[in-house]
A = this chain, B = another copy of it.
Amino acid sequence: MDPSLDIVFAALADPTRRRILSMLLEDDMAVTDVAEPFEMSLAAISKHLAILAGAGLISQEKRGRVKWCALEPDALREASIWMQGFGQFEPVNLDAFERFLRNEGLTPEEG
């Protein structure tokens, strides 16, 4: 078994980390800003970010004092392909998804 799938799925198994990914889906963020909405220490968030980076799910780039975190969605591809291998379900219902985007007021153009 591909050990990288272990790491990616384990990274995705934590709700804090999935919430961080959802935040980064909207925009790149500094570590301190990622931590702000969570009720846990900055060090804990720093560890979560390291785990996400270790799984390749985010990248981290230090500019000055600030470490910027950015989503790396390609890392999900291998895991997604593994799941598609089960092939017994249909792909995303894109019509429903676009309706969802419109209802949420979160179309891609709005950033």
Contacts and interface: CB of A to CB of B under 8 A. Distances in A.
A64 interface: no
Contact of A108 (B10, B83, B90): B90
Contact of A91 (B21, B76, B84): B84
Contacts of A108: 89-91, 93
B94 A87 contact: no
Contact of A21 (B3, B15, B26, B94): B94
A28 to B, nearest CB: 11
Interface residues of A, number: 49
Nearest to A79: B83
B18 A94 contact: yes
A66 B5 CA distance: 31
B86 A83 contact: no
Contacts of A83: 12, 76, 79-80, 83
